[in-house]
């Protein structure tokens, strides 16, 4: 069994909760520590009961509340060395709370298998996570500029998929950003567009390994996307011959309900 909730997802803050009922983890910590505690409370989880925080990369929207949360709730943090070296916000996390992983080397936290893999993104050593327990798996794949065969291999048998649908091409062109930022977002080290996510859904859902039960549109930009467009992309990509998963959109404003894979 795996239970999970998207506590926040978007260009401004990202944080997911994943647990097997015994080990309780956060993936990224982009809200304030106070907000994370409140949103955990909303799904019936005490902040003090969080065992560990997995950090995908050092961008502010993924680490903002980590230092305070870790000190306040005496939580362990798991990241790779280049991420810690680059992350100013994590510099004061007590050394005894930090555990390093080597990118690509899976490890166990309790009964949860933590798999992680490199993604193309403009950070020191960014990773995405696939967390499994028995035959249930959740993959959290945001902050990447392009899909890779490594990514497909890691996420193809996921039961829950939190997938980046960052921007709509046309809305990004019109968005009030400088040209350089638009180029960065669109680049191979930037963020997945709705069209890229649609293609990923198409490829995943046409594979025999596919067993997606829940697909969550994630890291949706407030300026160059809408929940409707992001969800439509995931739905349109889905192979109609397969029974359809539940499609949901993550939000920065509120936590999702607690969901369970059995």
- Token code pair at residue 141: 């794949």
CB 15 within 8 A of CB 36: yes
Nearer to Zn ion (CB atom), residue 59 or residue 156: 59
Please compute Rg for the chain using Cα positions: 17
Say whether residue 59 binds Zn ion (CB under 5 A): yes
Question: Of 86-115, which residues contact Zn ion (CB under 5 A)?
Answer: none
Six token digits for residue 74: 């005496």
Residues 61, 115, 125, 157: which binds Zn ion (CB under 5 A)?
Answer: 61
168 binds Zn ion (CB under 5 A): no
Q: Which residues between 204 and 223 bind Zn ion (CB under 5 A)? A: none
Taking the complex as a whole, how short is the minimal distance between the CB of residue 248 and Zn ion, in angstroms? Answer: 19
**Cβ of residue 52: shortest distance to Zn ion, in angstroms?**
20
- Among 20-28, 54-62, 93-101, 133-141, which window interacts with Zn ion (CB under 5 A)? 54-62
Show Cβ contacts of residue 138 under 8 Å, excluding neighbours closer than 6 positions. 2, 4, 18, 130, 131, 132, 158, 159, 160, 161, 162, 261
Nearest residue relative to Zn ion (C-beta): 59
**Could you give the 3-state DSSP secondary structure of residue 178?**
coil
The one among 115, 143, 157, 164 contacting Zn ion by CB under 5 A = 143
39's enclosing H/E stretch is: helix 33-42
Minimum CB separation of residue 4 from Zn ion in Å reads 18
For the chain, give the number of residues.
262
Residues lying near Zn ion in the complex (CB under 5 A) = 59, 61, 143
């Amino acid at each position: 069994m795996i239970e999970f909730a998207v506590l926040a997802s978007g260009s401004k803050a990202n944080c997911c909760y994943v647990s097997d009922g015994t080990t309780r983890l956060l993936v990224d910590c982009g809200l304030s520590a106070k907000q994370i505690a409140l949103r955990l409370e909303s799904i019936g989880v005490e902040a003090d009961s969080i065992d560990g925080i997995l950090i995908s990369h050092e961008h502010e929207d993924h680490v903002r509340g980590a230092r305070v949360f870790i000190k306040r709730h005496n939580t362990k943090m798991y990241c790779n060395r280049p991420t810690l070296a680059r992350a100013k916000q994590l510099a004061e996390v007590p050394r005894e709370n930090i555990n390093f992983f080597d990118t690509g080397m899976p490890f166990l936290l309790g009964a949860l298998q933590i798999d992680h893999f490199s993604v193309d993104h403009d950070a020191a050593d960014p990773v995405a996570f696939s967390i499994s327990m028995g035959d249930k798996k959740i993959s959290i794949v945001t902050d990447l500029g392009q899909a890779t065969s490594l990514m497909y291999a890691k996420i193809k048998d996921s039961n829950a998929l939190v997938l980046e649908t960052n921007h709509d091409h046309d809305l990004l062109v019109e968005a009030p950003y400088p040209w350089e930022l638009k180029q960065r977002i669109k680049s191979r080290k930037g963020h997945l567009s709705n069209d890229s996510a649609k293609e990923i859904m198409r490829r995943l859902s046409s594979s025999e390994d596919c067993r997606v039960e829940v697909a969550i549109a994630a890291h949706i930009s407030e300026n160059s996307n809408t929940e409707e467009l992001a969800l439509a992309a995931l739905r349109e990509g889905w192979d109609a011959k397969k029974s359809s998963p539940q499609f949901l959109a993550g939000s920065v404003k509120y936590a999702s309900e607690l969901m369970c894979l059995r």
